[in-house]
């Protein structure tokens, strides 16, 4: 058995359709998963044009190994995860999605019976079966059956809305940009049920993504910003291609950098659950630590990747610890009272609650009060990235270094993260400080060390 994932990345396997990503590959993933799990598997997909073909392939692999399949049709990844978690009938699930990647990509995320994404050790087992072609094909009287259930979104919508007092969004106007993805079926309904007046843009399911790419970038969200201003909305919310992430524009149409989004929601969540832990990867802004401290909360750092955050939250709760919140600085936030995965619909709803808690103030004014941090990001080509990271560490004696993922050099007024890319022959470098001059000096120091190493 291998000890490293080869095909799957941090959030599933992805590739260009017709090149790496083919029905043959997905059929084998289905057969490998079906050989590892018994019972009923829930299958969902985002709006990509290749989704139907790949879903059929995945289901064929599951059925031939004796699993029953329930096809959930098009839905957000967190909706599929919620349904799997709450319905005991499901032994797991799989989502056909390439998340934020361009339209020509597609992929598979594997979901466990508890609604979490499959952990690394199980993914490695699945890959071993995949590469060895070890599939437990069922005999003629043992193959699975398929049923369709594309009508269970209401359960997810009700679960999200149920976390908030009735009518909390009364008087608010919100513009939703699902980016032609599955959140078009959920987020506008969630916000309307909370009492908001809702406008939409890019809200027709369309795998050609005619309005914008599945990654919600400031450039792609320009029409959303314009619509927020034109309608006098309180904020705009946009999702990535499978709606596990949400990003925002404020009432002035300004894109809210995702660490600020995290901090703003953290401030609200931690004010209601003081003294708990906030779990986040080492690459997240120090803003998260500042805001946690304000509420007597402590930050617990993980390697980069939402599955590590989710699993750490579960582990800490298992140890009897109070976990208030978790997430990444990319709009992927995890609410322990709801479910242990990133949830874009829940994040959109949470912004309504945040705004309601500020007694009618504008979102732009609240954002402007947050401390400003300066972040420098760099990539550096390296044939052996892990060796380069070690060499950088050795060249920095006397520094405070944390080794959760790569090396994090910690100073009072700044930090730097140097880590190997999981997918490409390069290292990623991040430096953050409140003082742009300090960030710049540290950047030059680190880059000098990297070049010499
Ligand atoms: Mg996603």
Provide DSSP, 139-168. Answer: -TTT---EEE-TT-HHHHHHHHHTTS-TTT
| 3 state DSSP class of 231 | helix
CA gap 330, 313 in Å, rounded: 18
Distance 9 CA to ligand 1 centre (A): 13
Is the entire prediction scored with pTM above 0.85? yes
pLDDT score for 65: 98
Distance 347 CA to ligand 1 centre (A): 13
Tokens of 163: 């976390």
pLDDT score for 2: 62
pLDDT score for 12: 86
Q: Which residues contact 196 (CB under 8 A, 6 or more apart)?
A: 169, 170, 172, 173, 174, 352
Helix (H) or strand (E) holding 133: none
Question: What does the pLDDT look like over 305-337, one tens digit per residue?
Answer: 999 999 999 999 999 999 999 999 999 999 999
Cβ atoms of 313 and 326 within 8 Å: the answer is yes
pLDDT score for 424: 82
Residues of the chain predicted below pLDDT 50: none
CA gap 174, 377 in Å, rounded: 32
User: Of the listed 35, 50, 99, 306, which one is catalytic?
Assistant: 99
Question: What does the pLDDT look like over 435-453, one tens digit per residue?
Answer: 999 999 999 999 999 998 8
Q: Which residues contact 315 (CB under 8 A, 6 or more apart)?
A: none
Cβ atoms of 327 and 280 within 8 Å: the answer is yes
pLDDT score for 164: 98
φ, ψ of residue 100 in degrees (nearest 5) = -95, 0
Residue 23 exposure: Cα atoms within 13 Å on the Cβ side: 10
**Closest among 380, 452, 446 to 407, alpha carbons compared:** 446
3-state percent breakdown (helix, strand, coil) of the chain, nearest 5: 35, 25, 40
Helix (H) or strand (E) holding 343: none
**Closest among 12, 107, 98, 123 to 57, alpha carbons compared:** 107
pLDDT score for 331: 97
Cβ atoms of 243 and 153 within 8 Å: the answer is no
CB atoms within 10 A of CB 210: 10
pLDDT score for 107: 97
DSSP per residue over 46-113, as a string? -S-TTHHHHHHHHHHHHHHTT-EEEEEEE--HHHHHHHHHH-TTEEEEEEE--TTS-TTEEEEEEEET
Distance 348 CA to ligand 1 centre (A): 14
Distance 16 CA to ligand 1 centre (A): 16
Total length of the chain: 453
357 is catalytic: no
Q: How far apart are the first and last CA of the chain?
A: 33
β-strand partners of 335: 339
């Amino acid at each position: 058995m291998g000890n490293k994932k080869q095909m799957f990345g941090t959030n599933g396997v992805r590739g260009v359709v017709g090149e790496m990503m083919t029905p043959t590959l997905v059929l084998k993933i289905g057969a490998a998963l079906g050989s590892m799990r018994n019972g009923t598997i829930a299958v969902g997909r985002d709006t990509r044009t290749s989704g139907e073909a790949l879903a059929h392939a995945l289901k064929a692999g599951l059925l031939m190994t004796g699993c029953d399949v329930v096809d959930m049709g098009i839905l957000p990844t967190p909706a599929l995860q919620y349904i799997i978690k709450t319905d005991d009938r499901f032994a797991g699930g799989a989502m056909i999605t390439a998340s934020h990647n361009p339209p020509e990509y597609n992929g598979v995320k594997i979901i466990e019976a508890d609604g979490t994404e499959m952990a690394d050790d199980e993914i490695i087992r699945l890959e071993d079966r995949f590469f060895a072609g070890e599939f437990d094909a069922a005999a003629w009287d043992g193959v699975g059956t398929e049923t369709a259930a594309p009508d269970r979104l209401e359960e997810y919508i009700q679960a999200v809305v149920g976390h908030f007092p009735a009518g909390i969004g009364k008087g608010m106007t919100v513009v939703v940009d699902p980016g032609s993805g599955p959140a078009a079926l959920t987020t506008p309904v969630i916000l309307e049920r909370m009492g908001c007046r809702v406008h939409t843009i890019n809200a027709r399911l369309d795998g050609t993504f005619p309005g914008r790419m599945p990654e919600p970038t400031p450039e792609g969200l320009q029409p959303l910003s314009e619509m927020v201003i034109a309608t006098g909305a309180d904020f705009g919310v946009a999702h990535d291609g499978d709606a596990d992430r949400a990003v925002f524009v404020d009432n002035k149409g300004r894109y809210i950098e995702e660490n600020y989004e995290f901090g703003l929601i953290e401030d609200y969540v931690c004010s209601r659950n003081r003294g708990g832990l906030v779990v986040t990867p080492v690459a997240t802004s120090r803003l998260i630590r500042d805001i946690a401290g304000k509420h007597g909360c402590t930050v617990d750092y993980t390697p980069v990747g939402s599955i590590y955050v989710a699993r750490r939250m579960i582990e800490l709760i298992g140890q009897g610890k109070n976990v208030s919140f978790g997430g990444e600085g990319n709009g992927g936030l995890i609410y322990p009272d709801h479910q242990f995965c990133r949830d874009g619909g829940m994040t959109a709803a949470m912004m309504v609650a945040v705004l309601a808690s500020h007694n009618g103030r504008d979102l732009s004014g609240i954002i402007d009060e947050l401390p400003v941090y300066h972040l420098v990001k760099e990539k550096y080509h390296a044939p052996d990235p892990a060796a380069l990271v070690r060499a950088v560490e050795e060249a920095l004696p006397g520094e405070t270094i944390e080794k959760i993922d790569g090396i994090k050099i910690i100073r009072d007024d700044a930090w730097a993260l140097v880590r190997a890319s999981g997918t490409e022959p390069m290292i990623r470098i991040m430096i953050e400080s409140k003082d742009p001059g300090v960030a710049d000096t540290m950047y030059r120091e680190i880059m000098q060390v990297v070049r010499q190493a």
